[in-house]
């Protein structure tokens, strides 16, 4: 390192020297694949577990003695697997050159190498390109696989043959009709004595007029290596003549179902659905007018008044329920005159228990006793069902006396109750005295 003053010295000076010590600290660096991009040729029909290649990386930090592990970073089709210790790549699934993942017969995968350096791990990346070699694993197929054709003066149908394999596993192709298809259809070849297809196209013709309907034509195709495949081709035969444009529509017209008729049917169905919808909405939105259970307070009809106030408190409503049972417990004997009583002793009935929990047993026992009662009259005799018991000791439940006893009642207080009770006061109290 030399140092020079910007302004020259007037007197020459002796140059001076200095020593600089630079300390370089090591930083963990990622492993490096050699080569960064590796190309490997492999057949597409290799079995699962096949050793494809070995792809390893080196660590620049050699003095640290770091350990490198490998894993797949990008494997779109999941075809590959790598050993984490030694970087050996094997086939995890069957390879397919015709797959969408193989572009121009090349499959791209990313391999990662990770060290265990400090303070953080470092990762290196390598690219593995598999150049897939073609195998004759696909048979030729026709396109299109369905067509429409008229049954009178039909047009010749042209089918194009395609094969996903590469030459020489493709053309020249051979074609043949199978499974009885030759009874209704024929194939046209340039050489009648040869079934070789030229320009990858096969000509198909109808042999005779067919009934309208759907037919399957079984076409067997062979490639240049003898790989064969039978493909069904659907033919829709229509009742028409010449070119089969709009074959489905012509079938309707020939059967008497024209477009106006079809539209009329669809319109009628739509109108019926709309009518049903409107009817449903009308039924749901119609309001049902309900009569009130009780008339309003101010409703008066001539001289009829409403007394719908129930009033009363515990003194009027807290009554003794035992009074309701006295009429049944103290009922007199009912004597039957039309049936002579038997001489056998009547069964003993259990009295009504005081504990309500015993009511069930009480009913069951008395029911059994009644069923086995020998003194019961025959079923075809006249039974007494009109006896309701004696009168209640609680006397009448009504506090209003009959009109025969109105003479000793004083109804003058009704005049003090206002206009609503004026009519009642006139009926029972004789009205107000005239001055």
Residue 11 lies in a domain: no
In 3D, which of 389, 391, 395 has the Cα closest to residue 328? Answer: 389
pTM of structure: 0.49
Q: Which of 235, 254, 273 is the last residue of a domain?
A: 254
pLDDT reported for residue 381: 54
Q: How many other C-beta atoms are found inside a 10 Å radius of the C-beta of residue 412?
A: 12
pLDDT band, residue 435 (cuts 50/70/90)? very low
Residues 168 and 93 in one domain: no
| pLDDT higher than threshold 70 for residue 255 | no
Q: Which two tokens stand for residue 207?
A: 């042999």
Q: Which of 80, 100, 133 is the last residue of a domain?
A: 133
Q: How many other C-beta atoms are found inside a 10 Å radius of the C-beta of residue 378?
A: 6
Residues 194 and 222 in one domain: yes
Residue 37 lies in a domain: yes
Residues 145 and 249 in one domain: yes
Residues 129 and 155 in one domain: no
pLDDT reported for residue 423: 81
4-59 pLDDT, tens digit per residue, is: 778 888 888 777 778 888 888 878 888 999 999 999 999 998 999 999 999 999 98
Residue 342 lies in a domain: no
Residue 386 lies in a domain: no
Q: What is the mean pLDDT of residues 132-143?
A: 91
Q: Which of 232, 254, 276 is the last residue of a domain?
A: 254
Strands (E) located in 330-392:
none
Range of the domain at 90: 32-133
Residue 357 lies in a domain: no
DSSP output for 248-285: HHHHHHHTT--HHHHHHHHHHHHHHHHHHHHHHHHHHH
For 199-213, 264-278, 381-395, which range has the lowest pLDDT when averaged over its residues? 381-395
Residues 106 and 175 in one domain: no
Residues 152 and 232 in one domain: yes
Classify burial at 428, counting beta carbons within 10 Å of its beta carbon; exposed 0-12, middle 13-18, buried 19 or more.
middle
| pLDDT higher than threshold 60 for residue 216 | yes
Residues 98 and 161 in one domain: no
What's the CATH code of the domain at 69? Answer: 2.60.40.60
For 10-19, 320-329, 383-392, which range has the lowest pLDDT when averaged over its residues? 320-329
235-248 pLDDT, tens digit per residue, is: 999 988 888 776 75
Residue 215 lies in a domain: yes
Q: What total number of domains does the chain contain?
A: 3
For 73-87, 94-108, 243-257, which range has the lowest pLDDT when averaged over its residues? 243-257
Residue 327 lies in a domain: no
Q: How many CA atoms lie within 13 A of 328 on its CB side?
A: 7
pLDDT reported for residue 254: 47
Classify burial at 332, counting beta carbons within 10 Å of its beta carbon; exposed 0-12, middle 13-18, buried 19 or more.
exposed
% of the chain beyond a pLDDT of 90: 31
Residue 350 lies in a domain: no
């Amino acid at each position: 390192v030399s140092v020079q003053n910007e302004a020259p010295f007037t007197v020459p000076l002796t140059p001076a020297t200095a020593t600089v010590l630079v300390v370089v600290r090591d930083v963990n660096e990622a492993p490096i694949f050699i080569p960064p991009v590796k190309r490997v040729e492999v057949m597409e029909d290799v079995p699962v577990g096949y050793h494809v290649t070995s792809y390893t990386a080196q660590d620049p930090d050699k003095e640290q003695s770091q350990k490198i592990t490998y894993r797949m970073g990008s494997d779109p089709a999941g075809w590959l697997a790598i050993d984490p210790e030694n970087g050996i790549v094997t086939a995890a699934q069957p390879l397919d050159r015709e797959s969408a993942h193989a572009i121009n017969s090349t499959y791209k995968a990313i391999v990662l190498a990770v060290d265990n350096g400090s303070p953080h791990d470092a990762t290196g990346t390598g690219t593995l390109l598999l150049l897939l070699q073609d195998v004759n694993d696909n048979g030729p197929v026709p396109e299109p696989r369905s067509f429409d054709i008229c049954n009178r003066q039909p047009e010749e149908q042209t089918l194009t043959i395609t094969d996903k394999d590469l030459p020489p596993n493709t053309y020249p192709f051979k074609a043949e009709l199978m499974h009885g298809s030759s009874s209704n259809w024929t194939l046209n070849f340039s050489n009648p004595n040869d079934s070789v297809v030229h320009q990858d196209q096969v000509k198909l013709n109808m042999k005779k007029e067919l009934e309208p309907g759907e037919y399957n034509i079984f076409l067997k195709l062979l490639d240049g290596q003898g790989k064969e495949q039978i493909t069904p081709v659907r033919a829709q035969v229509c009742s028409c003549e010449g070119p089969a444009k709009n074959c489905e529509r012509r079938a309707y017209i020939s059967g008497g179902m024209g477009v106006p008729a079809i539209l009329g049917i669809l319109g009628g169905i739509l109108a019926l659905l709309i009518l049903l919808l409107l009817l449903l909405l009308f039924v749901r939105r119609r309001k049902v007018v309900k009569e009130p259970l009780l008339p309003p307070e101010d409703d008066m009809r001539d001289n009829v008044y409403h007394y719908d106030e129930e009033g009363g408190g515990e003194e009027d409503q807290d009554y003794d329920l035992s009074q309701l049972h006295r009429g049944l417990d103290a009922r007199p004997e009912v004597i039957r005159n039309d049936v002579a009583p038997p001489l056998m002793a009547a069964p003993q009935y259990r009295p009504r228990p005081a504990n309500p929990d015993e009511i069930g047993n009480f009913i069951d026992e008395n029911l059994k006793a009644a069923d086995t009662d020998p003194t019961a009259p025959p079923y075809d005799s006249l039974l007494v069902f009109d006896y309701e018991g004696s009168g209640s000791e609680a006397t009448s439940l009504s506090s209003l006396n009959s009109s025969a006893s109105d003479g000793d009642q004083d109804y003058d207080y009704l005049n003090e109750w206002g206009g609503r009770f004026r009519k009642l006061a006139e009926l029972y109290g004789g009205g107000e005295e005239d001055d």
